[in-house]
Amino acid sequence: MQSKGNRDRKEDGIRIRPLHPQDRSRIEEIVVSSGKFTVIEIRIALELVEEALSKGEEASGYLFAVLEDEKEDPAVKGYACYGPAPLTEGVYDLYWIVVDPKVQGKGFGHLLVGYVEKEVIKRGGRMILIETSSQESYGATLRFYGRAGYEQVARIKNFYRIGDDKLIFSKELVKE
């Protein structure tokens, strides 16, 4: 992807850009339509959007990458939310990555992950951590992380609820 502006990247009508206020409702649609998140999780995803919009991404610590296909309506097809992990040097958390189920399998998730990784490196980051659920419905998500080069480094049994473990994936972006 070619760089366009500070954080805008564009290729063949596909653009990854920062969060805009008008993205909130579309992000809500995408998160809800994924069918993977509870009501509470959806509320939290939207709270992060609101915090980034009200305080600014840098001040809130929640950075966003919004992927849109300018040739289609609605244009926004997915997003990622990431930020520096508190009390660490160069470690970032990937909090959310969600692609509209109607367009999954087109490589949008990989474009978002690649964008986030490049941005983290630009900011002096060296590692990205991803926490996720072990639920059977997350099988495709877990395979996606593996294909993107993330390794499962931890499992906490029954973390979210009985039978739903917390999985932690990691990728070193900068080797020591």
* Residue from 140, 133, 130 nearest 160 by CA: 133
Condensed to tens digits (0 to 9), the pLDDT of residues 65-85 reads 999 998 888 899 999 999 999
Condensed to tens digits (0 to 9), the pLDDT of residues 24-42 reads 999 999 999 998 888 999 9
The pTM score is: 0.89
CATH, range 2-172: 3.40.630.30
Q: Which residues contact 120 (CB under 8 A, 6 or more apart)?
A: 82, 92, 128, 173
Three-class DSSP category at 84: strand
Q: Which residues contact 164 (CB under 8 A, 6 or more apart)?
A: 133, 134, 135, 158
**DSSP H or E run through 47:** helix 39-55
